């Protein structure tokens, strides 16, 4: 044994870093506890940035499934090859189950997905139906509950990539008619005690925050609002700088009555509008200060899958593909990729999801070790969380990819 040990050369730390940067976040978290040396290496900012770089190269689709009193979360690898490449290998389209919140939740409302964390509100039976906001990381099962506010409004989750901080923005609807400028709140995760702070916002920006989830791009949180509730076309996009906590409004062409979605289009805020079955347009904000937009109109190829009453826009991938997702897991469930460059469609059947659930789907889920830091998320015993993973034998015959032009 001593002879063998003498012949074994130690693995250089640089090689260890390269190997571990390819592991899933859950495995990295376990390796941090293996030894003091590995814990020191894996907590370094260099390793965190390297891991995030590799994570961006392997993005995933995230599915949040809702049914009555439960939320379930799944994901699967996002396609990385061109839609028109006939020789491309088939995708593994079996979803991974991550976690479920259930049994003690009444009327959960989903508020969005930002930098690996999801945000939703719930009313708990054990808390006498009081509403509270939950922030969680669906792949690891870590989560935290945000202090309750006895007010009516809408919450959004934003991330400051410079300061590495997550913040929850609460837009108050209670006192809009009083024209107060400091009724809204903001909360910073990871700074010790979580508490709400008042924040000033000109009420000229909005009177009614619309029922969307908002989107955070490069530290700017965007969401849509109306200045007057009964004027459907009187819509603006509100911009909240997560770092400076300043607001700004942007004029936008908004086709109310159709499927409209705020998206991240190659690092810029975009508005995708889906009219009827085949007409699709995307407006991209090219200059924030001048409020200059570029608009592109497309005609979807004829197909027998996409139906605006059964599908929604999940988002735009980093490679510029618009992703449509089924609204319910009834019968075969598909996601459909539309290439803006080649004007082609590809549908992918997803297996392994629970049946008869409503679906919220999101693109470009990446693993970021920053969000798994315990300073952000500390599990609350009040939530009933299930983190069972499928057995290996359940994955047999789980592949199904269909091209339907």
pLDDT tens-digit series, residues 364-398: 887 777 655 545 565 544 444 444 444 433 433 33
Half-sphere exposure of 105 (CA within 13 A, CB side): 23
Supply the pLDDT for residue 399: 32
Paired residues of 309 in beta bridges: none
What phi and psi, each to the nearest 5 degrees, are found at residue 18? Answer: -65, -40
Does the pLDDT at position 240 exceed 90?
Answer: yes
Contact 264, 313 (CB under 8 A): no
User: Region 206-211: what's the mean pLDDT?
Assistant: 67
Nearest 5 degrees, angle CA 202-CA 203-CA 208? 135
Domain extent listing, the chain: 8-56, 57-385
State what percent of residues in the chain have pLDDT above 70.
Answer: 71
Mean pLDDT of the chain: 76
pLDDT tens digits along 22-52: 887 777 877 888 888 888 888 888 888 788 7
Would you say residue 328 has pLDDT above 90? yes
pLDDT category of residue 294 using cuts at 50, 70 and 90: very high
- Residue 107 above 80 pLDDT? no
Summarised one tens digit per residue, pLDDT across range 346-357 is 888 888 888 888
Quick one: fold of 57-385?
Answer: Neuraminidase (2.120.10)
What value does the mean pLDDT take over residues 257-276?
A: 88
In this predicted structure, what is the pLDDT of residue 265? 93
Buried b (16+ CB within 10 A) or exposed e, 94-122: bbbbbbbbbebbeebbebbbbbbbbbbbb
Average pLDDT over residues 246-273: 87
3-state secondary structure of 172: strand
Residues 6+ apart with CB under 8 A from 377: 117, 135, 136, 137, 142, 143, 144, 189, 371
Q: At what angle do helices 13-20 and 25-32 cross, to 10 degrees?
A: 140
3-state secondary structure of 40: helix
Q: Tens of pLDDT along 152-195?
A: 778 899 999 888 888 999 887 665 544 555 678 899 887 667 78
- The CB density around residue 30, as the number of other CB atoms within 10 Å, is 10
Q: How confident is the model at residue 257, as a pLDDT? A: 63
| Residue-wise pLDDT tens digits, 52-88 | 777 766 788 889 888 776 778 888 888 754 444 444 4
- Cβ burial of 134 (10 Å; 0-12, 13-18, 19+) is buried
Percent of the chain clearing pLDDT 90 (strictly above): 17
Band of residue 221 on the pLDDT scale cut at 50, 70, 90? very high
Band of the pLDDT at 341, cuts 50, 70, 90? confident
The reported pTM is 0.79
Contact 263, 274 (CB under 8 A): no
Q: In what order do the strands lie in the sheet with 358-365?
A: 358-365, 60-67, 70-77, 96-101, 385-386
- Residue whose token pair is 């315990």: 374
How far CA 399 is from CA of 90, 227, 352, in Å, comes to: 8, 48, 10
Contact 300, 338 (CB under 8 A): yes
Q: Residue 311: pLDDT above 80?
A: yes
């Amino acid at each position: 044994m001593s002879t063998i040990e003498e012949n074994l050369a130690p693995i250089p730390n640089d090689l260890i870093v390269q190997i571990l940067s390819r592991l899933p976040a859950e495995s990295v978290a376990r390796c941090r506890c293996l030894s003091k040396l590995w814990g020191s290496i894996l907590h370094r900012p260099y390793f965190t940035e390297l891991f995030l770089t590799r994570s961006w190269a392997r993005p995933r689709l995230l599915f949040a499934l809702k049914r009555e009193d439960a939320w379930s979360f799944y994901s699967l690898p996002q396609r990385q090859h061109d839609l028109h490449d006939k020789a491309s290998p088939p995708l593994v389209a079996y979803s991974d189950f991550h976690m479920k919140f259930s049994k003690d939740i009444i009327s959960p409302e989903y508020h969005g997905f930002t930098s690996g964390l999801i945000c939703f509100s719930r009313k708990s039976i054990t808390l006498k139906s009081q509403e509270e906001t939950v922030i969680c990381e669906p792949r690891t099962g870590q989560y935290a509950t945000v202090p309750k506010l006895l007010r009516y409004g809408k919450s959004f989750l934003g991330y400051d990539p410079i300061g590495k901080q997550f913040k929850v923005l609460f837009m108050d609807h209670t006192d809009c008619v009083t024209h107060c400028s400091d009724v809204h709140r903001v909360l910073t995760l990871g700074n010790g005690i979580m508490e709400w702070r008042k924040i000033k916002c000109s009420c000229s920006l909005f009177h009614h925050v619309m029922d969307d989830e908002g989107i955070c791009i490069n530290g700017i949180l965007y969401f849509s609002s109306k200045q007057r509730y009964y004027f459907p076309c009187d819509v603006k996009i509100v911009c909240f700088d997560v770092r400076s906590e300043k607001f700004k409004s942007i004029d936008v062409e908004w086709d109310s009555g159709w499927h409209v979605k705020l998206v991240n289009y190659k690092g810029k805020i975009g508005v995708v509008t889906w009219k009827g079955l085949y007409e699709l347009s995307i407006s991209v904000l090219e200059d924030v200060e001048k409020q200059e937009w570029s608009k592109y109109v497309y005609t979807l190829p004829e197909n027998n899958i996409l139906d605006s009453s059964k599908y929604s826009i999940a988002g735009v991938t980093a490679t510029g593909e618009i992703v449509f997702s089924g609204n319910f897991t009834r019968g075969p469930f598909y996601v459909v990729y539309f290439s803006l460059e080649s004007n082609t469609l590809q549908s992918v059947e997803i297996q392994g999801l629970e049946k008869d659930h409503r679906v919220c789907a999101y693109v470009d889920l990446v693993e970021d070790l920053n969000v798994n830091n315990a300073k952000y998320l500390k599990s609350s015993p009040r939530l009933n969380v299930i983190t069972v993973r499928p057995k290996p034998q359940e994955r047999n015959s789980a592949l199904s990819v269909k091209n339907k032009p």
